[in-house]
């Protein structure tokens, strides 16, 4: 519970702070465009070794989720749930992508992601990169990631377990609530498409 809830709470608190800041501070000057504060540019490598940026996923509503292949429970559960929701979208979700951004690039190479994601819906795209590239994406999405040492020289990663719904212009629409039947989550997602 603690592992999953804290990052979400931190994220929600961050969002609340951001929206207050947006109201108070971000009065755009003439000619300036008010930009969404969640999401942003990234350059990463997909599970086939192809270099991609956020522009490759623009043009359609898509999902973004941060995680890592050594995650014992939250990531595999969420990836399964994302697959169920995509399935429940039916033909409407045929080309809908879900980005799984690796927060553990040390172990999550493109090849490791490819092997891992073979167990999940093929619309889930694995993305990884250098620590700097991953960090830039984490920052852009206001995500929370922390490396936590475990036994010996092993470690695990605490991370935001939020599923971001991004619009076709890479702007954050909402978080996808997966604590309900896939058909309900899919109906909600369909309204955001």
Whose Cβ is closer to Ni ion: residue 12's or residue 60's? 12
Please state, in angstroms and rounded to a whole number, the distance separating the CA atoms of residues 64 and 72. 19
Query: Which residue in the set 8, 74, 173, 187 belongs to the binding site for Ni ion (CB under 5 A)?
Result: 74
We find the least distance from the C-beta atom of residue 153 to Ni ion, in angstroms, to be 20
Q: From residue 126 to residue 165, what is the string marking binding to Ni ion with x (rule CB under 5 A)?
A: ----------------------------------------
Please state, in angstroms and rounded to a whole number, the distance separating the CA atoms of residues 149 and 144. 16
- How many residues bind Ni ion, per CB under 5 A? 4
| Length of the chain counted residue by residue | 193
We find the least distance from the C-beta atom of residue 68 to Ni ion, in angstroms, to be 6
Residue 75 binding Ni ion, by CB under 5 A: yes
Residue 103 binding Ni ion, by CB under 5 A: no
74: which residues sit within 8 A by CB, 6+ positions away? 3, 4, 67, 161
Residue 71 binding Ni ion, by CB under 5 A: yes
Binding residues (CB under 5 A) for Ni ion: these are 67, 71, 74-75
């Amino acid at each position: 519970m603690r592992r999953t809830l804290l990052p979400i709470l931190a994220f929600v608190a961050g969002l609340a702070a951001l929206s207050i800041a947006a109201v108070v501070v971000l009065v755009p000057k003439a000619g300036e465009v008010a930009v969404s504060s969640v999401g942003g540019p990234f350059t990463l490598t997909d599970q086939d070794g192809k270099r991609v940026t956020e522009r490759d996923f623009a043009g359609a509503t898509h999902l973004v989720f941060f995680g890592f292949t050594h995650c014992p429970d939250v990531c595999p559960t969420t990836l399964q749930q994302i697959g169920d929701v995509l399935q429940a979208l039916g033909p409407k979700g045929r080309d809908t992508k879900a980005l799984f951004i690796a927060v553990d690039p040390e172990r999550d190479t493109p090849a490791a992601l490819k092997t891992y994601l073979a167990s999940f819906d093929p619309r889930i795209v694995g993305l990884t990169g250098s620590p700097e590239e991953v960090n830039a994406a984490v920052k852009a999405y206001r995500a929370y990631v922390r490396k936590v040492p475990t036994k010996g020289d092993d470690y695990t990663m605490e991370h935001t377990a939020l599923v971001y719904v991004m619009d076709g212009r890479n702007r954050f629409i909402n978080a996808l609530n997966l604590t309900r039947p896939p058909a309900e989550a899919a109906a909600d997602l369909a309204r955001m498409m």
